Amino acid sequence: MNETSRPAQQVTIKDIAKKAGVSIATVSRVVNGKYLHKINPGTQAKVRRIIEEYKYEPSVSAVNLSKSRLRTIGMVFRPHGFKEFSTYFDEMIRGILSKVVEKNFNLMLLPLKMEHDVNFQKMVRSKTVSGLLLFWTHIDDLLIPTVMEENIPFVVLSNYSRALTYPYVDSANMQGASDAVDYLVRKGHARIGFISGSDDSRNAQDRFEGYKLGLKKNGLPFQQELYYRGSFLESEGARAMEYFLGLKERPTAVFSAGDIMAFGAIRYLKEKGLRVPDDIAVLGFDDSPLAESFDPQLSTIHQSVFDIGSNAADMLIKQIEGKGTPLKIIVDTKLVVRRSA
């Protein structure tokens, strides 16, 4: 009959009140630290002691119900959309969590099941979450209006719409891609191939825009034959390189919209006995954890997915708490020069 054998989670405000010889109202007040100045210090101490002894924690369901206020945010994403983005998703979660924990919120994962699943709608209406983080790796304006109808705070990560206006956080994709071209040109390249990501990815589109902008800034023309439409897959990188090598006039450098495709491109080059960067330079985008241990070490555009996550969580929590926030936050990218270019 020792202390720990009692099922701890059964302790309620009533138990504490009884043990302390006060009303539940008083317990509630000390728990919430409200009107504390008008509560007898002795009473406070006694209640606190009992709470400590029983390790009492108010039931969230009850608190939520009576306050109509939550501290849980949901993250909506496509479970199959990030297969090739493992570390990406991971870093993002880490970033979100850092803020969520700091602000004493909770994070609930809400995977989208099908193309037009409205799982999150249920979570919203049932008051399971008080705000949404939307992470889709592709443009999906179809779902956003549904979310908007719910009249709930939300922030979109790493994507945005040209048609709709809503809060989002993204990397400086265009700037980063433009910087990539700048660098390559400085290194003497004039024939720069581009491997794009999937068309339905806003990030991919922006990087493509950045590539074109970079060319233009450096007085180079955009040439259709130096553009390869990829899809962020490793195999696509290899295929792209196969295509470039087949050109009558090969590019001397290739800029890939994603590290993974750059890996594939380099793999293909090595298989063909070509050397990187001597024969062809390859520059990636992402700075994934493996860029550094790849052979050769990958030069790339670093983007801080962690910061995207933490900024988005910060924006969302501020919205939930009724504070003002900027409509968008763009996280800087940075060129990281290693061996491949």
Partner DNA sequence: CTGAAAGCGCTTACAG
Q: Is 141 in the site for a second copy (CB under 8 A)?
A: no
One character per residue 95-114, x = contact with a second copy (rule: CB under 8 A): --xx--x----xxxxxx-x-
| Residue numbers 232-261 binding a second copy by CB under 8 A | 234
| Residue numbers 144-163 binding a second copy by CB under 8 A | 149-152
- Taking a C-beta distance cutoff of 8 angstroms, is the pair 186, 218 a contact? no
CA triple 74-88-203, angle to 5 deg: 90
Nearer to a second copy, 128 or 218 (CB): 128
Nearer to a second copy, 290 or 336 (CB): 290
Pick the stretch among 34-42, 94-102, 162-170, 287-295 that binds DNA (CB under 7 A). 34-42
- Comparing CA positions, the residue from 184, 206, 188 lying closest to residue 196 is 206
C-alpha 294 chain-centroid distance = 24
Helix (H) or strand (E) holding 245: helix 234-246
Q: Is 275 in the site for a second copy (CB under 8 A)?
A: no
- Whole-angstrom Cα distance, residue 277 to residue 302? 19
- Whole-angstrom Cα distance, residue 196 to residue 255? 9
The pair of three-digit structure tokens given for residue 31, joined into one six-digit string: 């728990």
In whole angstroms, the minimum distance from the beta carbon of 216 to a second copy comes to 33
Q: Is 35 in the site for DNA (CB under 7 A)?
A: yes
The DSSP line for 257-271 is SSHHHHHHHHHHHHH
Partner whose binding site includes residue 270, from a second copy, DNA, none (CB under 5 to 8 Å by kind)? a second copy
- Whole-angstrom Cα distance, residue 315 to residue 113? 26
| Residue numbers 65-94 binding DNA by CB under 7 A | 65-68
Nearer to DNA, 26 or 158 (CB): 26
Q: Is 19 in the site for DNA (CB under 7 A)?
A: no
Q: Half-sphere exposure of residue 260, counting CA atoms within 13 Å on the CB side?
A: 17
The pair of three-digit structure tokens given for residue 187, joined into one six-digit string: 């290194």
Partner whose binding site includes residue 223, from DNA, a second copy, none (CB under 5 to 8 Å by kind)? none
Pick the stretch among 1-9, 43-51, 187-195, 315-323 that binds a second copy (CB under 8 A). 1-9
CB within 8 A of 99, min separation 6: which ones? 309, 310, 313, 314, 317
- Comparing CA positions, the residue from 284, 231, 285 lying closest to residue 253 is 284
Encoded amino acid at 340, one letter: S
In whole angstroms, the minimum distance from the beta carbon of 191 to a second copy comes to 26
Three-state secondary structure call for residue 238: helix
Q: Please report, as ranges, the residues that interact with DNA according to CB under 7 A.
A: 10, 12-14, 21-26, 28-29, 31-32, 34-35, 37-41, 43-44, 56, 58-59, 62-63, 65-68
Q: Please report, as ranges, the residues that interact with a second copy according to CB under 8 A.
A: 4, 7-9, 11, 55-62, 64-65, 72, 79, 82, 84, 86-87, 89-91, 93-94, 97-98, 101, 106-111, 113, 121-128, 149-152, 234, 263-264, 267, 270, 289-290, 293, 295
